[in-house]
Amino acid sequence: MNQDDRYRTTSWDGDEVARRSGEQPRRAPGPAGDRPPRSTAPGADQSAPRSAAPAKKKKKRRKKRTNPLLAILLWLAIVGTCSAIFAGVGWMLANDFAALNKPPMETSFQVTEDFIAEVTQEKQEDGSIKEVTHYDMDKVAAALKEAGLIEYEWFFRLFAWFYHADTKLNTGTFTLNTEMDYMALIRSMRTTGGKTETVELTIPEGYSVKQIINLLAENGVGTEEKLTDTAANHKFENYVFVDNDNLGDASRLEGYLFPDTYEFYVGARPELAFNSMLSNFNKKVYGNDELGELFEASSYEFEQIITIASLIEKETDGSDRSNISSVIYNRLENDGETGRLLQIDAALVYAAGRPITQEDYTSLDSPYNLYQHTGLPPTPISNPGLASIKAALSPADTNYYFYVLNPETKKHVFSETLSQHNRAVSDAAEAAARIAAEGEGN
C-alpha cells in the first residue's frame, strides 16, 4: 500500500469489497475534466458506458453540368424541326382551304337525297313551321374529295362543323371548280349558287291526296311510290291536326294539303313537298285568329269542319258554298226527309276511285257511301280552299235539304221538300236532253 494511502483505509476497503462482490470499484474523484459527462436526460442510464464517436457523413456526388451551348443548340433544333413540320402542314391545309396552287378544273357536282342525314322542323315567330334539312358532311366531304375539289376531308369537315354547313346546302346539281375555297364551295351548293331544278305547281281546290300525289309525280317532284309511302307513314309531328298515331293510310293527310301555288324541288325528299302544303294550312287555317274564333264557337270538332268543307268543295258550282253548307247541316241535325243521310255523290266517287254507276248507290260497301251511312265520312274527301272552310264555319240560314245541278244554267237549284226537288230533277233532265239534241244537230 502506498504510504500516501495508508490513512485512506475507508476508500481502500470499499474498493476491495466491490471487487469481491463483482462490482466496478469506485474511483476517487479527480479533476472535472477527467470525468465523462453524465446525461441529465430523464431515464438516461447513468451507469452506461460512453458512446462511440459519430460516423463520418457520406460525401454527395457532384452532378455533371450540361454544356449550356449544347442545350441551346438542341432546343433550337427541336423548335426548328417542329416549326418546319407545322409550317409545311399549315401550308398544305391553307392551300386546300383557300384553293391555292390547284390546277384549274370545273365539274358538275350533285348533292343527292342520299346526302341528307335528317330533317327537323322549327317553329317560326309567325307561327309557321320551317323544315330544316341537315346534310351528312362526311358524305359531302368524301364526294368533294372524289371529285378532286378538296384534298383533306377531315379539314373540310372541321370547317363545315364550325360554319354549321350541314344546314346550308340544298339538293341539286351545281357547277363547282378548283378555284373555289371551302366557303365558296358551300355557298355554291345552295339554291342560289347552283343549278337546283325546281318546278312551280298549283294545287287546285278540291284535289284529293291521290290527285296531288299524281300531279307531283308527273312533274318530277318524286315518284308516286315514295310520295304515297310518305303520305301514309311519315310522322309530321309539328302539326297537331295530322294523325301521327294511326299510320299506313295516305288519307290521314286529306283536307290538310292547302291548295295554293308552290315551288317544289325536283327529286327532293317527299316529306319536303308535303310539309310545304301542311305548313301553309297551319298558317292560313289552323293558326288563323279569325277562323280560330269560329272554330271555337262551333259545336263540331276541327276535323269535322274540314270534312264538311271538303264536301262543299266537291259539290259547289263556285257561287253557292254557303247554301250547300246549309243543306249539309240541315241533314246532319234534322231527320227531315232524308233521315240524316247526306247522300252526296262526291263521297261515293271518292270511295270507288272511279266514276260511279247506279248500282254503286246500294251495293258499294264503304263508310264513304253516304247513301248507306248516316253522318259524315271518316275523313275529308278532298283538300278544300279557304272559301269552303269559311262556308263550313258559317252556313247560310235556310231550310234547304236538296239541290240539283241544272246543266243549262250550270247552277244548283235548291229545294226544301222532296216534291220540290223531284220537279227540279225533272227540269234538269229535260235540260240535259235538249243539250244532247242540240249536240246531235250540230
* Beta-carbon contacts of residue 201 (< 8 Å; ≥ 6 apart): 215, 216, 219, 221, 261, 262, 263, 264
Beta bridge partner(s), residue 262: 201
pLDDT at residue 51 greater than cutoff 80:
no
Q: In this predicted model, what pLDDT tens digit does every residue of 313-327 receive, in sequence order?
A: 999 999 999 999 999
Q: What is the pLDDT of residue 59?
A: 56
Do β-strands 198-202 and 172-177 pair in parallel, antiparallel, or remain unpaired? unpaired
Counted residue by residue, the chain has a size of 442
**Higher-scoring residue by pLDDT: 367, 73:** 367
Name the average pLDDT for the chain.
Answer: 83
Q: What is the pLDDT of residue 296?
A: 94
Position of cell 464517436? 53
State the sign of the Cα–Cα–Cα–Cα dihedral 206, 210, 214, 216.
Answer: positive
Q: In this predicted model, what pLDDT tens digit does every residue of 5-25 receive, in sequence order?
A: 444 544 545 555 555 555 555
Give dist(CA 355, CA 168) in Å, integer.
47
Beta bridge partner(s), residue 411: 406
pLDDT at residue 100 greater than cutoff 70:
yes
Q: Position 332: which residue type?
A: L
pLDDT at residue 269 greater than cutoff 60:
yes
CA atoms within 13 A on the CB side of 393: 20
pTM over 0.85: no
Task: Please state the rounded mean pLDDT for residues 229-256.
Answer: 93
Give dist(CA 432, CA 424) in Å, integer.
12
Mutual angle of helices 153-163 and 137-146, in 10-degree steps: 140
